[in-house]
Amino acid sequence: IQHKEAFRIMKGLMDKSINGYQVIPDFRYPDNIRFGLAPLYTSFFELYLTVQKLKNIVLNRLFENFDESKFSVT
pLDDT 10s digits, 15-42: 999 999 999 999 999 999 999 888 898 9
Whether 74 has a pLDDT exceeding 70, the answer reads no
Q: Residue type for 41, please?
A: Y
Q: For 8, phi and psi rounded to 5 degrees?
A: -70, -35
3-state SS assignment for residue 62: helix
Model pTM?
0.88
Angle at 34 between CA 20 and CA 52, to 5 degrees: 35
3-state SS assignment for residue 68: coil
* Neighbouring C-beta atoms of residue 7, cutoff 10 Å: 21
